[in-house]
Amino acid sequence: MGEGVFISGLGLISAIGNNVAEAYHHLSNAKTGIGKINHLQTRYKDEYVLGEVKLSNNDLMDFISHHSPLLNRTSLLGIAAAREAVLHSGIDLKDGLRTGLISSTTVAGMCKTELFFNDMIEKNEHLEILDTHDCGESTEEIADYLGVKDYVTTISTACSSAANAIMLGSRMIKHGMLDRVIVGGVDSLSKFTFNGFNTLMILDKEWCKPFDENRKGLNLGEAGAFVVIESESALKKRNGKALAQVMGYANTNDAYHQTASSPDGSGATKAIQLALQMSGLNASQIDYINMHGTGTPNNDLSESKAAINVFGNNVPKFSSTKSFTGHTLAAAAGVEAVISILSILNNKIFPNLNFTTPISEFKLTPVTKVTDAEIKNVLSNSFGFGGNCSSLIFSKV
């Protein structure tokens, strides 16, 4: 059904740099961005590592040349990444084609609310922050900064959010509702999410070790990550250049537990199978899987099982690049879409850092060194609280 959907621009700000070029430099030199805490104001500052964006909020305002006291870190990261994606694609938002923005977030304005909530209650101050707390706010800040008018919406399905933004955007293009869409996600670090994951006891105090037998948990990160997707005809009309094609996607629910993935990986298995089915590709044509790979005992076990369910003894080369960026929650699938497309464009697999011992049940070994290989089709997985499972397939053009 409908037209082909092509990716024409990438934008990323994360722990591995303020733009896609810096991210590529880190990735191809196996250099992580996860480190000591500089910005997040937490009592655990010296105990944990995080994937922080290196710029402060003031630096970010300079970076996007937009200074407004009401802009929170979520909006700032979103603007930085979405702007880069639009500039990279070369689209002109005033050329009369219909452009939408579909963003996703879980933290939204909480990064600021948590700093001033007490003042609101005790001192009656900073009440204007109430209007910037909700998830839609950052999306509208991004839309207004870029001048997107035709369609805006926001998705929040925990750690699979940005994958679903890419999915909805692709569907709207196929249905002929929009000509192109800026899709992705953004989450900034907050005490709220940091302490939340800490109470769940799934944070590793040191660098995370996805798919390692001795993995202890995840490292949280923050990022803004967007890609521009366009219909084939919109791309032709402006003589634009496609970087990759969105070939398949699927969204399923594990319906097993509010925060845990099923041990048999059923939701993830179904998502991967349905995405493959849509793409028309055989399992053997997947050259690389960018795994969700959070580094928690539960996720990596369930995801390994799902990979074996689908690919049997021939699991493609895979890695979790969360060992570079940390787990950036709603933005994660956006970050990993950018990384997957960098793999396709450069015929390189970026490694799974900090891995030494395979999980005993499966003996699956990820790619641990920067590896040159012909990459035509990439599968990218993202799963989240609430049983949300999403898989995307990107292909070379």
Query: Among this protein's residues, is 25 annotated catalytic?
Result: no
- 7 lies in the binding site for other proteins (CB under 8 A): no
111 as an active site residue: the answer is no
Packing angle of the helix pair 110-123, 191-199 (nearest 10 deg): 100
Q: 85 with 9: CB under 8 angstroms?
A: yes
Six token digits for residue 331: 């933005």
User: Which token pair is 225?
Assistant: 């990550």
**160 within 8 A of 329, measured Cβ to Cβ:** no
Residue nearer to other proteins on the CB measure, 37 or 364: 37
For residues 133-165, b (16+ Cβ closer than 10 Å) or e, as one string?
Answer: bbbbbbbbbbbebbebebbbbbbbbbbbbbbbb
* Residue from 135, 208, 292, 389 carrying the catalytic annotation: 292
Q: Which stretch binds other proteins (CB under 8 A): 6-14, 21-29, 64-72, 131-139?
A: 131-139
CA 211/CA 61 separation, integer angstroms: 37
Task: Give yes or no for residue 72 binding other proteins (CB under 8 A).
Answer: no
Report the residue number, 180 or 348, with the smaller CB distance to other proteins: 180
Largest separation between any pair of C-alpha atoms in the chain? 62
User: Three-class SS of residue 294?
Assistant: coil
Among 29, 199, 239, 282, binds other proteins (CB under 8 A): 199
Residue 114 burial (10 A CB sphere; 0-12, 13-18, 19+): middle
How many C-beta neighbours within 10 Å does residue 10 have? 28
CB of 195 to other proteins, least distance (A): 5
For other proteins, the binding residues in 140-159 under the rule CB under 8 A are 140, 143-144, 149-158
Q: Is 198 in the site for other proteins (CB under 8 A)?
A: yes
- Provide the terminal-to-terminal Cα distance of the chain, rounded to the nearest Å: 19
Q: Does 171 bind other proteins (CB under 8 A)?
A: yes
Minimum distance of other proteins from residue 29's CB (angstroms): 35
Which one of the spans 57-65, 196-204, 313-321, 347-355 is the region binding other proteins (CB under 8 A)? 196-204
Pick the binder of other proteins from 72, 251, 323, 380 (CB under 8 A). 251
> Considering just the CA atoms, what is the radius of gyration of the chain in Å?
19
Among candidates 110, 38, 91, which has minimal Cα distance to 231? 91
Residue 267 binds other proteins (CB under 8 A): yes
Residues 30-49 contacting other proteins, CB under 8 A: 42-44
Considering only 46-54, 78-86, 213-221, 262-270, which stretch makes contact with other proteins by CB under 8 A?
262-270
What CA–CA distance (Å, rounded) separates 108 from 2?
Answer: 33
Residue 178 in the binding site for other proteins (CB under 8 A):
no
Which residue among 4, 35, 297, 386 contacts other proteins (CB under 8 A)?
386
Size of the site for other proteins (CB under 8 A): 66
Is 208 known to be catalytic?
A: no
Point out the residues that are catalytic.
159, 292, 327
Chain positions contacting other proteins, by CB under 8 A: 1, 42-44, 105-106, 108, 110, 113-114, 117-118, 120-121, 124, 127-128, 130, 133-137, 139-140, 143-144, 149-158, 164, 168, 171-172, 175, 191-192, 195-196, 198-200, 251-259, 266-267, 270, 384-388
